[in-house]
Amino acid sequence: MRLRGVFSSMTVVNASALLSANFFELLGLPQQFALDREHLSKRWRELQAQVHPDRYVQASATEQRLAMQVATRVNEAYQTLLHPLKRAVYLCELHAIALELDSNTTMPQSFLLLQMTWREALAEAKAAGAAPALMDLEGEIQTYRNQTYGELADLIDQQRNYPAAASLIRQLFFIDKISQEVTSALAQLEA
C-alpha cells in the first residue's frame, strides 16, 4: 500500500484505507519477523509527521477525528512491531494462528525441565541473597532467549511455519516472566 500523498486531506476514503491496512502495510514494511528497528522508527516518524492531529487543527471536525484515529493506529502499529514478541504474535494472528496463551500451556518436555531448573536456581539464589547467582541466571536466560528468537525468525521468515512459531512464542512469554522475576530479585537485593 502506497501512502505518500494520501495525507493532503484526511478523507473518509483514505482514512478508511489506512485504518484497515495491517501494521506492516501501514508502515510500508515487509511482512516479516526480522525488521530493521531504525527503519521502523524512521517510517513511524515520517507517518506521524503526516498524520499528527496538530496538522489538522484548521480542518473540519470529521478530518480532525479521522486524523486522530489514524495517528492512534500508526502508534499502535509502531508499538506492536517495535517489540519482537508482540511482532511475532501479530504475525501469527495475521496468518490465523490463535496463540491461546491463557488456555494452551503445552510445551516440550525439555523446556518444562529447563523451567524447573531456572525456578529452583531463582529460589535458591533469592534465599541465599546471592546476587552473582542471580546475574548468572539472568545471563543464562538471556542467552536462551536470544537463541529462541533466532529460531523464531527462521520459523516465521524462512519456513513460514506459524504453528511451530506459536509454540516458541508461548515459551518466550514464560522466559520474559522469569527474567522479570530475576530482575526484581536483583533489585530487591540492591535496595
Per-residue three-class SS string for the chain? CCCCCHHHCCCHHHHHHHHHCCHHHHHCCCCCCCCCHHHHHHHHHHHHHHHCHHHHCCCCHHHHHHHHHHHHHHHHHHHHHHCHHHHHHHHHHHCCCCCCCCCCCCCCHHHHHHHHHHHHHHHHHHHHCCHHHHHHHHHHHHHHHHHHHHHHHHHHHHCCCHHHHHHHHHHHHHHHHHHHHHHHHHHHHHC
Unique residue bearing C-alpha cell 517495535:
82
Instruction: Tell whether 37 is covered by a domain.
Output: yes
Q: How many domains, in total, are found in the chain?
A: 2
Q: Is residue 120 located within the same domain as residue 77?
A: no
Q: How does residue 116 score in pLDDT terms, banded at 50, 70 and 90?
A: very high
66-114 pLDDT, tens digit each: 889 999 999 999 999 999 999 999 999 999 998 888 877 789 999 999 9
Q: Which domain holds residue 58?
A: 12-82
Share of the chain above pLDDT 90, in %: 73
Output 3 or 119, whichever has higher pLDDT.
119
CATH number at 21 reads 1.10.287.110
Q: How confident is the model at residue 10 (pLDDT cuts 50, 70, 90)?
A: low
Please identify, among 38, 67, 82, the residue that sits at the C-terminal boundary of a domain. 82
Is the domain of 66 the same as that of 125? no
Read off the pLDDT band of 25 (50, 70, 90): very high
In tens, the pLDDT along 40-68 reads 999 999 999 888 888 888 888 888 888 89
Mean of pLDDT over the chain: 91
In a domain, residue 99? The reply is no
